[in-house]
Amino acid sequence: MKIIVGEWFRMPQVGGDIFRSLVKDAGLQYDKTRGFLASSETDLGLVTTILGNTLKENVVVLLKCFICGASIECEECKYKDACQSSKVFQSCICKDCDIKEEVSNIYSMRFTELRG
Amino acid sequence: MWVEKYRPTNPNMIIGNEETRLNFIRWLKNWGKKSKPSLILGPPGVGKTTLVHAVSKDLGYEVLELNASDVRTKTKLEKRLGPSRTNSTLFEEKILIFLDEVDGIYGRQDKGGIEFLLDLIKNSRNPIVMVANVEDNKKMIRLIKSSQVFRFRRVPPKLLEIAVKNIFRREGLTIDQLKLEMIVRDAYGDVRAAINTAQITSSGTEEIISELRDIQISPIESLKIFFDASTNKEAYLALSGCKMQPRDKVRAIFQSILCSKLDGEKLIEIMQELSKADELVAKISKNHNWILLRYFDRILAGSLFTALQGTQVRYSEQSLPWKLQLRIWNDRVQLKNISLRLAKQYHLSSKDAILFYLPYIVLLSNLKNYEKRIIDGLHLDESSVKVLRREAQKVSQEIRKG
């Protein structure tokens, strides 16, 4: 199962207790029509543990690239071990953007763009 | 210092926490007299203070800054901030009241400080921004409830790498990729620590890098990372990065474990491991052998990490269930009393009486003929008898369950 931070997703029925844990303890947002949303307030480590144990399948969390919006597989990152336990980032930078020469300026420009 | 030289003066130049940064800018832009004050929470070195100064400058605010941990009494706060309750200044500038480290305002000696702050929040005609590192102080709840909260997280390593690389480029220096990665890893999402370490590295004294790092993690965050850790080292770093008394670390972990759903055997295994660290703290404080404290975090992390593998133990702020609290605090006194009488009667050490003899006494008291003899022999009072019976009942239930 894949969860992209900042994008709504659906999951199979997990039962009341698990649902409560996901929403109350792990801070996953829920909306009847749209499903679930992992935001900056969500404890992603807890979400993956709960869902992994309940659904008996590997749960992968993907962050969005702040610059281009592409989803990023944390498993492929060289810093996987350095930030695995604090999966609470709002976004990250993908490989393609990372190698751009002016990535620092592009990042600032993207923020300026979003500020409007 | 590079940290000062490259401190962002524009909110667009800060790295990480993009959503929170945007929300904070929106808050200040749309601030009106009925708006709530803002409270920025987050670990050190992630750009909270920098953001406040940069956004204020950007939106044309003069910052009236006060470090709340230096000025904490009502009188002193009133003296410094009283005039700012009105918004009129000589040149009609826009004023932003910035209270840094508000978590430092709490404490017994600070009577009146928080009341003044809450009153200021209610009646201020200027935007108020408060910054704090921790949110686990229960007294902060009042402040959190009356404010618009912005939560800062640690900065992703990729962004740290980009920032450090950029500084090296601007300094006209080069850095070995391996060293760069080491700086980023060691910084643990703390931009300030990464830049400081980078500067030390550039001066050629990189051996002392990890010793000089100044990374502090809040107790909540530290415990969350500890329970989430995927390696022993990560668990150790989480514990060692938190300025919390060793005894408090044991208590917080103990509480979290008890509030988790664990099967009996696993619970015993984890508790046994935790007790090793607890014993160490007790020995250290008994013998005043404080130098041994340097090993505490390693022992705590090392002994618990393996035991916690595969469990769903998470940091829990919930206090223990009332029934359990009662049992720990109330029954403990009575059981100790029984053990002391037992020790006196049979010439035992109190430790032996508790560890080896008390369980048998509890078992024996289940038998009708023995119960009266035990009660009379040990001269137990009513409350001790009650606890003894309760313990005996529990033991027999467990035996029946098999």
- Residues of A with Cβ-Cβ distance to B161 under 8 angstroms: 79
Higher pLDDT, B327 or A47: A47
CA distance B47 to B10: 12
Domain segments of chain B: what residues?
A: 2-151, 157-212, 226-308, 322-401
Count of residues making up chain A: 116
| Helical pair B296-308 and B232-240, crossing angle rounded to 10 deg | 140
Report the gap between the CA of B38 and the closest CA in chain A (Å).
17
Q: Which domain holds residue A11?
A: 2-115
Length reported for chain B: 402
How many C-beta atoms lie closer than 10 Å to residue B212's C-beta? 12
Whether the CB-CB separation of B212 and B205 falls below 8 Å is answered with no
Q: Is the pLDDT of residue B265 over 90?
A: no
Least confident of A30-44, A50-64, A67-81, B127-141: B127-141
Q: B interface mutation test: which of A18, A90, A96, A112 has the most B CBs within 10 A? A: A90
B15:A91 CB<8 A: no
* Tokens read off for B338: 């029984």
List of chain B residues whose C-beta atoms are within 8 Å of the C-beta of residue A42? none
User: What is the side-by-side strand order in the sheet with A2-4?
Assistant: A2-4, A60-64, A71-73
- Answer for the pair B227, B305: CB distance below 8 angstroms, yes or no: no
The overall pTM is greater than 0.80 = no
Question: Chain-centre distance of CA B389, in angstroms?
Answer: 39
Instruction: Enumerate the β-bridge partners of residue A30.
Output: A36
H-helix segments, B203-231: 209-212, 219-228
Residues of A in contact with B153 (CB under 8 A): 40, 86, 88-90
Minimum-distance CB partner of A45 among B16, B20, B228: B228
**For residue B15, which residues of chain A lie inside 8 Å, CB to CB?**
107
- Confidence class of residue B212 from pLDDT cuts 50, 70 and 90? very low
Q: Is B326 on the interface with A (CB under 8 A)?
A: no
Average pLDDT over residues B245-271: 84
In this predicted structure, what is the pLDDT of residue B176?
85
d(CA A36, CA A111): 26
Which chain B positions have a beta carbon within 8 Å of A107's beta carbon? 15, 159, 162
Structural Rg of chain A based on CA atoms: 15
Q: Percent of chain B at pLDDT above 70?
A: 82
Q: Is the pLDDT of residue B25 over 90?
A: yes
User: Is the CB of residue B188 less than 8 Å away from at least one CB of chain A?
Assistant: yes
∠ CA B166-B170-B171, nearest 5°, is 115
Residue B380, amino acid: L
Nearest by CB to residue A78, choosing from B12, B153, B181, is B181
What residues of B are in contact with residue A53 (Cβ under 8 Å)? 312
Of B324, B297, B285, B202, nearest to B241 by C-alpha is B297
Q: How many CB atoms lie within 10 A of CB B372?
A: 10
The rounded distance, in Å, linking the Cα atoms of B244 and B285 is: 16
Rounded Cα distance, A99 and B108, in Å: 53
Tokens of B97: 């009241």
The two tokens of residue B7 are 């401190």
**Among 3.40.50.300, 1.10.760.10, 3.30.930.10, 3.40.50.10800, what is the CATH number of B2-151?**
3.40.50.300
Residue of B158, B197, B317 to mutate, interface with A, max A Cβ within 10 Å: B158
What is the rounded average pLDDT for all residues in chain B? 80
User: A50-93: per-residue pLDDT in tens?
Assistant: 888 888 888 888 888 999 988 887 777 888 777 754 455 678 89
**From the CA of B13, how many Å to the nearest CA of chain A?**
6
Distances in whole angstroms, Cα of residue B313 to Cα of each of B97, B228, B347:
41, 9, 42
Edge-first strand listing for the sheet containing B128-132: B61-67, B94-100, B128-132, B38-41, B148-151
What is the distance between the alpha carbons of residues B360 and B187, in angstroms, rounded to a whole number?
Answer: 54
Cα distance between residue B132 and residue A112, in whole Å: 26
Q: Which residue has the higher pLDDT, A6 or B291?
A: A6
CB contact under 8 A, B153 and A41: no
Tokens at residue B228, please? 């989430």
Residues of B in contact with A38 (CB under 8 A): none
By Cβ distance, the residue of A46, A50, A91 closest to B18 is A91
Confidence of residue B307 (pLDDT cuts 50, 70, 90): confident
pLDDT of residue B211: 45
Determine whether the interchain pair B18/A66 forms a contact, defined as Cβ–Cβ distance below 8 Å.
Answer: yes
How many domains in chain A? 1
Q: Is the Cβ pair A79, B158 closer than 8 Å?
A: yes
